[in-house]
Amino acid sequence: QQQVKQSPQSLIVQKGGIPIINCAYENTAFDYFPWYQQFPGKGPALLIAIRPDVSEKKEGRFTISFNKSAKQFSLHIMDSQPGDSATYFCAASSLNTGNQFYFGTGTSLTVIP
């Protein structure tokens, strides 16, 4: 059973567009929601993360929106660039689970020049 559901599976946008990737979870014990970026042949790299006490967090061109009541969170990439083409994973975790991360299935993003 997938603890974190991620959509879409793939996404193609033009340079400058704003791709949005969505994730949903059921376990209300989760209290940490990171996003990872992965390039082919590399390990996932931590991009940005949010705690449930805030509804939005921005770091550069990357923004997480968090809706605690709906148990959903999303990643927005502003002014997307071809270099943002990668696979993005959301995840959820709780200290009560030994810091075990539950990952979404990933979104392959292509930014067309």
Partner 1 sequence: DAGITQSPRHKVTETGTPVTLRCHQTENHRYMYWYRQDPGHGLRLIHYSYGVKDTDKGEVSDGYSVSRSKTEDFLLTLESATSSQTSVYFCAIRGTRAYEQYFGPGTRLTVT
Q: What angle do CA 77, 49, 68 make, to 5 degrees?
A: 95
DSSP string, 66-78: EETTTTEEEEEET
- What minimum distance in Å lies between the beta carbon of 39 and partner 1? 11
Count of residues that interact with partner 1, criterion CB under 8 A:
25
- What minimum distance in Å lies between the beta carbon of 100 and partner 1? 5
Give the sign of the dihedral formed by CA 68, CA 3, CA 40, CA 49: positive
48 binds partner 1 (CB under 8 A): no
Give residues in contact with partner 1 (CB under 8 A): 4, 6, 32, 34, 36, 41-46, 49, 89, 91, 93, 95, 98-106
